[in-house]
Structure 1
């Protein structure tokens, strides 16, 4: 079965790459991508239902990596087709509001399933048998709101949710890019910033979120998108998907706000040094 799975994944990636390269119309592209991914999912289902896994490890690997990866493609293209089909067509501000609402919806989904996201992205494995074996007590008793869509012969509760997380992370990147393309502040190409951020982007995102949460811009009414746009233009930096950097911060095992702690320690150390200077 491994050879068939490898061939199926390779074919899917090749066909989707062709769709992205050859179909300029977004609705047609996303519809075709969803159809291709749907066919791949059906082929995958037949492979699984027609053969037994050789070991628990093989079954875990399939439901943790392979099945969510392929299913996520279907969810990704289906979501993008829905978003582009439903978006406001005429008023730019309505479109911006619509995209912001979609991003907020995705953020809320990640908040609900944050533990699973951190488990997967953090490389944990201690709950694999609970999450990714079809006959586990968790997957047969866990309450889900999937409206009868869950075929427990083909996927587990966790593998389905994991596929959604993988897909929505990509959808989030797409929406952020659309906002950047349509509403990003124009860059003055003749102006070269005198200051350049030399710490990591994750450190800067940590600082931005702290300032946002304390309402430090525009009396607290500035949104994150505005703050990131201002910094991108001021510091000539591209955040790409700032949400992914923030999730990296939340995944830290010991202390989350490491950059803020470093800022505080550096400031207090400098104050102490200044207080000692007159005594020399």
Structure 2
């Protein structure tokens, strides 16, 4: 069974665009996305259990790249729903203190359960030498002193480490969400409140292509004379094109070390523009 990451991300973005195009509260959007992602994961699980994988590389790709994206978003939207429905107020000091407390809790969980682990450094370094152990079924090494969560997962559909990546993805999304609640200037809606965006405008290339463009504009000081930060610039593009970007820093790190051209999208942009110019000659 072959599942393409690009198709999964496109389906998720499409559903996010559908919900964002309606006048809905954040809690309602988060709830609907939770249901959608849970159903998607359930259906994919049924297909995997029925058909399996054609080879080990396909299995590694699924548990390292594909499933964590779905599960990470599922964890994120479920968390947003819980936060939105438990926040004591819509503004004011209680509102501010609530989200500040949640941010502290998130940072504590990150320090205690994620960043100090060897696996986190492995994942961040974009290594592949232990992929066989981490991302194929039936290879959990209990001598590593794993957390008790390993006993709560379905080992027919998890290598344990796919859950870890999903939580890394979810934590980064939740972090950005909490910042947008605490700091209005970090809120993409506030940033673009005076910009008339058409919800039918969407980014139809890959996430990496958009991240490459954002970093190029940032590095060339082409926006606000370079006085705008990369995070805020990324938020603007996310709202403009109605497309979420996950860990842009990790994606940029992969670009720096990828084989072939490190600026593949910019190279293609230049070629496409030159071909378009030649049509007018």
Which interval holds the TM-score relative to the shorter structure? 0.5 to 0.7
* 1:48-87 equivalences in 2 (<5 Å): 48-87=48-87
What is the rounded CA distance, in whole Å, between the counterparts of 1:85 and 1:42 in structure 2?
A: 25
Answer 1 or 2: higher relative contact order, Cα 8 Å, separation at least 6: 2
Is the alpha carbon distance of 1:21 and 1:2 closer, same or farther for their aligned partners in structure 2, counting shifts above 3 Å? same
1:117-165 Cα distance to aligned partner (Å, 9 max, x none): 3322321112211211111142797533338541111112110111011
Maintained 8 Å contact 1:27/1:81: yes
What is the rounded CA distance, in whole Å, between the counterparts of 2:228 and 2:31 in structure 1?
A: 34
What is the rounded CA distance, in whole Å, between the counterparts of 2:155 and 2:178 in structure 1?
A: 32
What is the rounded CA distance, in whole Å, between the counterparts of 1:158 and 1:19 in structure 2?
A: 31
* 1:18-167 equivalences in 2 (<5 Å): 18-89=18-89, 92-111=92-111, 112-114=113-115, 115=117, 116-138=119-141, 143-146=146-149, 149-167=152-170
SS of 2:231's equivalent in the other structure is: coil
Consecutive unaligned residues in structure 2, runs of 5 or more: 188-217, 219-225, 233-246, 252-281
What is the rounded CA distance, in whole Å, between the counterparts of 1:135 and 1:88 in structure 2?
A: 45
Aligned to 2:198: none
Consecutive unaligned residues in structure 1, runs of 5 or more: 185-200, 202-234, 249-280
RMSD value over aligned CA atoms? 3.7
1:227-278 Cα distance to aligned partner (Å, 9 max, x none): xxxxxxxx9644637xx89999xxxxxxxxxxxxxxxxxxxxxxxxxxxxxx
State the 1:54 CA deviation: 1.6
Say yes or no: does 1:240 pair with 2:231. yes
* Bigger radius of gyration: 1
Q: TM-score scaled to structure 1, two decimals?
A: 0.61
Q: Of 165, 171, 184, which aligns to 1:181?
A: 184
